[in-house]
C-alpha cells in the first residue's frame, strides 16, 4: 500500500511526551483527519493465509466521519507495530471511491490508515506503518 499525500502541520500534541516526540508526531496530518488514541490490543499474524492476519484495536474510532472503525488489519508477513497501552496517532489516508462493485456507504472495508506510535521508552523506537481496516478491500470477497 502506498502512503497517500501526508502533509505537515505545526501543532503540538497534548500528550505527556518529550518535546522532540511531540514535534515529530504533530507534523503527521492528512486531509481526511487524524485522531490521538490508545491501543487496546495488538496481535501479529499467526500464519501465511489472509485469515491468519493480526489486528490492532484502538480505544476510539479512527475514521472521523466514516463510521465507528476501531481496528486495523495486520496482513501475513506484517507486524503489529504497537502494543496494548501505546499512545498512537492514527491518520486516515484513503477512502475507496464508489466504483467497480464498491459502495463505501454500505461497505466500510478498504480504508487505509497511517498508525504512528509515540514512545517514551528508550529501548523502543518511534514507529509508523500503513494498514487497511479489513482483510479485503471495499467490494471484495
Q: What is residue 49's predicted lDDT score, i.e. its pLDDT?
A: 84
Q: What is residue 23's predicted lDDT score, i.e. its pLDDT?
A: 53
User: 61-92 burial, b for 16+ CB within 10 Å, e for fewer?
Assistant: ebbeebeebbbbbbebeeebbbeeebbbbbbb
The pTM of this model reads 0.76
CA atoms within a 13 Å half-sphere pointing along the CA-CB vector of 89: 25
Distances in Å between the alpha carbon of 103 and those of 70, 96, 110, 130? 20, 8, 11, 22
Q: What is residue 38's predicted lDDT score, i.e. its pLDDT?
A: 95
Are residues 49 and 76 in contact, defined by beta-carbon separation less than 8 angstroms?
yes
CA 140 – CA 86 distance, rounded (Å): 31
Q: What is residue 73's predicted lDDT score, i.e. its pLDDT?
A: 94
Q: What is residue 13's predicted lDDT score, i.e. its pLDDT?
A: 30
CA 89 – CA 12 distance, rounded (Å): 12
Distances in Å between the alpha carbon of 51 and those of 16, 28, 31, 36, 77? 37, 31, 31, 28, 12
Return per-residue pLDDT of the chain as tens, 141 residues: 333 323 222 222 323 344 444 455 556 677 788 999 999 999 999 888 888 899 999 999 999 888 899 999 999 988 899 999 999 999 999 999 888 888 888 888 899 999 999 777 777 767 889 999 988 888 776
Amino acid at each position: 500500500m502506498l502512503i497517500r499525500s501526508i502533509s505537515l502541520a505545526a501543532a503540538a500534541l497534548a500528550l505527556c511526551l518529550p518535546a522532540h516526540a511531540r514535534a515529530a508526531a504533530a507534523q503527521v496530518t492528512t486531509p481526511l483527519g487524524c485522531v490521538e488514541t490508545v491501543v487496546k490490543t495488538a496481535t501479529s499474524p499467526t500464519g501465511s493465509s489472509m485469515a491468519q492476519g493480526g489486528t490492532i484495536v484502538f480505544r476510539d474510532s479512527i475514521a472521523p466521519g466514516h463510521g465507528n472503525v476501531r481496528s486495523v488489519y495486520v496482513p501475513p508477513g506484517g507486524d503489529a507495530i504497537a502494543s496494548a497501552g501505546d499512545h498512537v496517532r492514527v491518520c486516515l489516508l484513503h477512502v475507496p471511491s464508489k466504483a467497480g462493485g464498491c459502495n463505501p456507504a454500505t461497505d466500510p472495508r478498504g480504508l487505509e490508515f497511517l498508525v504512528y506510535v509515540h514512545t517514551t521508552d528508550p529501548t523502543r523506537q518511534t514507529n509508523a506503518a500503513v494498514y487497511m481496516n479489513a482483510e479485503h478491500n471495499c467490494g471484495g470477497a
